Amino acid sequence: MNHRWKPSVTVAAVISKHFDGVQKFLLVEEETRDGLKLNNPAGHLDPGESLVQGCARETLEETAFGFTPTAIVGVYMSRFEQVQSDGVVLDITYLRFAFCGELGAHVEGQALDVGIVRTVWLTADEIRASTGRHRSPLLLRCMEDYLAGRRYPLDLVSTDPSVFSG
């Protein structure tokens, strides 16, 4: 049987803010099968939404903050092997679209996604020093690209209207 390979599309937010002159990045701490891990606010693209909409939704669900993407930081691929409890190895490839933008207001009463323990603001050096706690190798890469000034216009990616029809 012929199977077509399809990567899992994810979106991620690279959110930076200065506190008393110190630049920090908003991350989530989440429970995984490997313990507590750090990641950008990120998740899978849902059917019927654009990449920009997916990034805003995931950020709200994982941080309880509104977020408006204003630029693309980069597009990344990574591969991950996950051993299931029955010993079967899943070979997963992620295609991540990372955005930066404007952090909105905190939404009082907004529950965080299942598995998200808390949000945390860390400096670039703190993130670099905690690579053993990163859920994805793309966390560091996205931050470094952001710090290097990589910004691409949102119209780099477009969503055909057919995506929104149900």
pLDDT in tens, 134-161: 999 899 999 999 999 999 999 999 999 9
CATH of 8-155, one of 2.40.50.100, 3.30.1490.100, 3.90.79.10, 3.20.20.70: 3.90.79.10
Q: Where are the domains of the chain?
A: 8-155
Query: d(Cα 56, Cα 81) in Å, to the nearest integer?
Result: 28
pLDDT digits (tens, 9 = 90+) for 63-83: 999 999 999 999 999 988 877
List the chain pLDDT tens, one digit each, 166 residues.
567 888 899 999 999 999 999 999 999 999 998 899 999 999 999 999 999 999 999 999 999 999 999 999 999 999 888 777 888 888 889 999 999 999 999 999 999 999 999 999 999 999 999 999 999 989 999 999 999 999 999 999 999 999 998 6
Q: pTM (2 decimals)?
A: 0.92
